[in-house]
Structure 1
Amino acid sequence: AMCVLLLCMFFSVSFGQEFDEDANFVRGNIGQRIADWAEAAASVGFHGVILAARDGEVVAVVAVGSADFAGKVRNTPTTLFEIASITKPFTAIAIMQLVEQGALALDDPIAKHLPGVPDDCRAITVRQLLQHTSGIPGTNSRGGGPDLDAVLPRFLQGGPVFEPGTHWEYWNQGYALLSEIVARASGQEYVTFCRDRIFVPAGMASTRFTGDEAPEGVPVAIGRSSYGKPRSALDHPYGSYGFQYRGMGGVVTNVWDLWRWDRALHGEELLGAAAKAELFEPGLGDYALGWFVRETKGGRLVQSHGGGVRGFVSEVRRYPLDDGCLFVLCNNDAVPVGRIAQALEEILFEEAPTIEKPPAPLDEALREALVGQYEDDRGNLFIIEAEGNLTRVRILWSSSKGLVTRAVLGLDEAGGVAMYEWRSTHAVELDRHGEEPVGVLSILNTTYTRQP
């Protein structure tokens, strides 16, 4: 029992560094800059955890915001998040492991492994499902539950609209079919195979699937959603782990387990060199087998995938030539994690910044002075509300019924009030007398007056 406890708290022997995994970690100037950026992002609604590494060493692990919806439980580096479509790289690794052992081949027709494939789909191969080049349109997404016979006709209805292998179109349900190919070729259920052949060899002791029980003592994030009620990372987003989600989403993990996964991929614990070369060979759409593989504007090779589902958004980036990686896990699905990852990538590799740093939060007195409803001369409403340390803005546009702009207010580097929308920042001018509430504010050449 003591050995297990030590492995959970530290893993210094294998990777050359020693950590208390429950605590934030910062190394050097780069690590501190990443931590500062993460804290700034928290001031505008980012709740989550970041891990950044280069040259084979972790430089920052930063948890910010809250793991629960009430804001009473802080995120920690061990908090579990659902990673949605980042499950696809796990499915691709599972397929490649079966290729290595000779149980299937990438260019096998899927009809060799799945019964009931219609004649017009019998030319589709395993590789084409992995690469989203089956020719089946992404709109073929209806169907779910545990019965392959029930979903297969719906997934493959109408057959390919492009010749298989000639057109890239992201199709989630192809990965549901791949999960069944894993099960039939291995003789194990998909989730069992992933646990036995990926999670355990990689040392991912906390990683689960939706529907599983939480590991003892490991916190689980509650996702904030713009599309529905809050949900636990371990709750099924679509009712069950049937073909509506299996293989394409459903892995629940934390940044430390993802770091172990990255190290296992860096070595040969999961796949040999030839299989990894195949896994990361890009095809149409810069998509390899379960991974996007591209060069950054600076010429840096990156292997990446994002994931988004109700309550959770995530981004995983690996930099194989730099022996680096970046993980951004977030339990607020309104946050553009791709922009956060891009900003942190620029810091990690000391590149010129292209993403503006979020503003600092307003102090309590100024926040209280601003809270209220304002209106311009065209009937547009500018509503300011306090949410903990956040100062949120909703703009209700009178000319477009139902259209709402959401943003936050903060302080720019010069100390002025600014409205921040993740993709842009705009100065806000205030008309205020002494300590009284703000009566008038101006933004983008428009004046809003406080309403009673």
Structure 2
Amino acid sequence: MKLISFATIFLLLLGSINISTQAQQITASDSIDVFLKNKMQQRRIPALQIAVIRGGKIVKDTTFGKANLEYNINATNETVFSINSITKAFVGIAIMQLAEEGKLKITDLLSLHLDSLPDAWRKITIQQVLSHISGLPDIMDADEQVMGHNDEQEAMQKVKALPIEFQPGEKFSYNQTGYVLLGQLITKLSGMHFTKFIEERQFEVSGMKLTRFGDSYDVIPNYAGAYTLTKKMGSRFIRNKTPGHAYMQFPVFFRTAAGIQSTATDLANWIIALKGGKLLKKPASVDTLWTPARLNNGKIGGFNFLTNGYALGWPTVTREEHPAVGPVGGGRSALFVYLKDDLSIVLLTNLMQGNPDQLIDEVAGYYIPDMHEANGFGLPANLKKLRAELLKQGFDKSLAVVKKLKKKDSNFQLSEAELNGWGYQLISQKNLPAALSIFKLNVALYPGSANAFDSLAEADEITDHQAEALLNYKKSLALNPKNKNAAERIKAIEESILKKAPVKK
């Protein structure tokens, strides 16, 4: 028998480990593809790009769908997407680059560097502007258009005449005016126009070969376009089932707020450059960049439950498990950098209602399994406790389990909204029996809620319990006579029952 050296055995084992790791990555990648294609179909997203970064390298870089619906043009990895407000994250880095050069401090008053500001604006800091807690009036008008007919001087004259909305640091309120001012600040302190400064100091350094400033008016090679499911009819918006064109123009002076066009690959290389010390030299600068601002009361403020804080141009996903920074843009682009995990994900779409930020955590779950929704990730703490017990004792025992948990801990509470949201999440996971149990629990805990009964009735319909659905819709309508959905479903179910009833001879 031929003897094999220890070194040979080690190399064979190492090879098998590498093969196993590669196989896991391929499996994860294939599963992600299936997941994203399903979401594209559900949400009617024409095109989607994804890039995943681990270990300082791009481990997945894929594109699906159509860049152009009219001419049936496929999207590729070189297709360029609008990233809208992710642009603000570039501005945050630009400000921190100037800070590293000693040209400003983020705690400086804006008025220290910019002249001719209204008196009410003079106590606002650069940090407050970056994090949307400044109280500045918004440069966007009631129709969500930039004031001033694309003229910077006219726009600034109009917005400066408006009263301040609240005292600096009082609350979070998303605001575009501040980013126009930051553009002026970067231009003044860098000695070049802010677009040139960002191009030279970020695009070029990161190797972002296809990235540029632009909007719907510009002719951009390989552009994915912009689509929307909403259409304005008079003073209201209606939602269509098929995408139509969206048109957005960003004046040059406004392009610190939105205006960058990029690819998932380029953005991945930008993240790699930032984390690798090529854009900011000091690790402390990156920490500052990604630290959410504190309001006057010590709390943080953000868009929603997910992106619940805001740092220097970077929304934050502040939570105990897998915290992240997560710039989002226009309801169609998002990227998450997971702060405690070796993982970053970029998702770009060309549909304004694509909301890829809602998908990124689930994509992350293919690399970090405990992040899958089906494993309870993202649920509030008390729902996680309930879920753990129900997995042991059965979802059909939900009410009894809740009573035991409340007896054990008097502070144990479940909100109606949390239970309702979890119920629909279970439906999306095709766990219908569990979903039905949770909706039943919700009406047991909140018997005066029309919404809870309406949701239970929907679950009854999905599980083909028509008689129960009819009963629960009627209970919902009795609690809220204005519930149009309940009234419509009652009529539809009753008509269906009549059609199925045997005809008397």
* Distance of 1:163 and 1:343 partners within structure 2: 38
| 1:249 partnered with 2:258 | yes
> Once the 2 structures are TM-superposed, how far is the Cα of residue 59 of structure 1 from its aligned partner?
3.9
Task: Provide the secondary structure at the position in 2 that maps to 1:124.
Answer: coil
Asked whether the equivalents of residues 32 and 60 of structure 1 are also in contact (C-alpha less than 8 Å), the reply is no
1:201–1:71 Cα change, 3 Å: same
Give the corresponding residue for 2:228: 225
Give distance in 1, aligned partners of 2:197 and 2:30: 39
2: CA distance, partners of 1:188 / 1:230: 38
C-alpha distance in 1 between matches for 2:332 and 2:264 = 13
- Of 136-145 and 122-131, deviating more is 136-145
Equivalence for 1:151: 155
> Which runs of 5 or more residues in structure 2 are unaligned?
1-22, 232-242, 294-299, 302-308, 376-427, 432-454, 465-487, 497-505
Q: Cα offset for 1:257?
A: 0.2
Mapping of residues 308-319 of structure 1, within 5 Å:
308=330, 313-319=332-338
Letter in 1 for 2:186: V
Output aligned runs, 1:170-181, within 5 Å.
170-181=174-185
Q: CA deviation at 1:174?
A: 1.0
Q: How far apart, in 2, do the equivalents of 1:317 and 1:348 lie?
A: 14
SS of corresponding position for 1:39: helix
How much has 1:52 moved relative to structure 2? 2.3
The structural deviation recorded for 1:152 is 2.4
Q: Do the aligned residues in 1 keep the contact of 2:138 with 2:159 (CA within 8 Å)? A: no
What are the within-5 Å matches in structure 2 for residues 108-187 of structure 1? 108-138=108-138, 141=141, 143-144=147-148, 147-187=151-191
Classify the secondary structure of the residue corresponding to 2:117. Answer: coil
Secondary structure of residue in 2 paired with 1:90 = helix
Report if aligned partners of 1:38, 1:62 keep a CA contact under 8 Å in 2.
no
Higher relative contact order (CA 8 A, sep 6+): 1
> Deviation per CA, 1:311-343, whole angstroms, max 9, x where unpaired?
x71111111322211111111123232222232
Residue 269 of structure 1: which of 273, 278, 301 is its match? Answer: 278
Partners of 2:288 and 2:162 lie apart in 1 by 30
Give percent identity, aligned residues only.
27
2:327 corresponding residue in structure 1: 305
Structure 2 counterpart of 1:288:
311
Residue 38, structure 1, aligned to residue 41, structure 2: no
Structure 1 residue 413 displacement after superposition: 7.2
Please report how far the alpha carbon of residue 146 of structure 1 lies from its aligned counterpart in structure 2 after TM superposition.
6.1
Q: Give the letter aligned to residue 170 of structure 1.
A: Y
Partner Cα distance (1:323, 1:316) in 2: 14
- In structure 2, how many angstroms separate the alpha carbons of the residues matched to 1:181 and 1:63? 37
Following the alignment from structure 1 to structure 2, what is the Cα–Cα distance between the partners of residues 100 and 412? 47
> Would the aligned equivalents of 1:93 and 1:279 in 2 still touch at CA under 8 Å?
yes
User: 1:79 matched to which residue of 2?
Assistant: 79
Q: Which residues of structure 1 form unaligned runs of 5+? A: 1-24, 357-410, 415-422, 430-442
Report Cα offsets for 1:216-236 as digits up to 9, x if no partner: xxx21022123469559xxx7
Compared CA separation, residues 223 and 148, structure 1 to 2 (3 A): closer
Contact kept in structure 1, 2:79 and 2:224, CA below 8 Å = yes
1:102-157: per-residue Cα shift (whole Å, max 9, x none)? 22222222223323211111111211111111122558655245654422243344
Corresponding position: 1:344 with 2:363 = yes
Distance 1:108 1:75 in 2: 44
Residues 156-188 of structure 1 show CA distances to partners (whole Å, capped at 9, x for unaligned) of 444433321332211122111111111111111
Distance 1:341 1:195, change over 3 A: same
**Which residue of 1 is the match for residue 397 of structure 2?**
none
* Partner of residue 248, structure 2: 237
More strand by share: 1
The equivalent position to 2:347 in structure 1, one of 328, 335, 339, is: 328
Q: Give the AA of the match of 1:214.
A: I
Structural mapping, 1:383-422, within 5 Å: none
| Structure 1 residues 149 and 115: alpha-carbon distance in aligned structure 2, compared to 1, 3 A threshold | farther
Aligned partners of 1:143 and 1:354: how far apart in 2? 42
1:57 positional shift: 4.1
SS in 2 for 1:326: strand
The answer to whether the Cα contact below 8 Å between 2:86 and 2:328 also exists between their aligned partners in 1 is yes
The question of whether the paired residues in 2 share the 8 Å contact of 1:294 and 1:302 is answered with yes
Q: Which one-letter code corresponds to 1:351 in the other structure?
A: D
**Alignment size in residue pairs:** 338
Shift of 1:444: 6.4
Describe the SS at the equivalent of 2:187: helix
CA contact (8 A) 1:55 1:322 kept: no
Contact 2:99 2:105 (8 Å CA) reproduced: yes
Within a 5 Å distance, the mapping from 1:55-66 to structure 2 comes to 55-66=55-66
Equivalence for 2:199 = 195
TM-score if structure 1 supplies the norm length?
0.67
Q: Give 1:346 deviation, angstroms.
A: 2.7
What is the CA deviation profile of residues 278-337 of structure 1, one whole-angstrom value per residue up to 9, with x for unaligned ones?
Answer: 1111113121101122334x61120111110xxx71111111322211111111123232
SS in 1 for 2:317: strand
Structure 1 residues 148 and 336 mapped into 2: Cα distance closer, same or farther (>3 Å)?
Answer: closer
Residues 1:118 and 1:137: Cα distance change in structure 2 (over 3 Å):
closer
Q: Please show how residues 353-372 of structure 1 align to structure 2 within 5 Å.
A: 353-354=372-373
Distance 1:116 1:147 in 2: 18
Distance 1:231 1:102, change over 3 A: farther
Q: What is the one-letter code of the residue matched to 1:276?
A: V
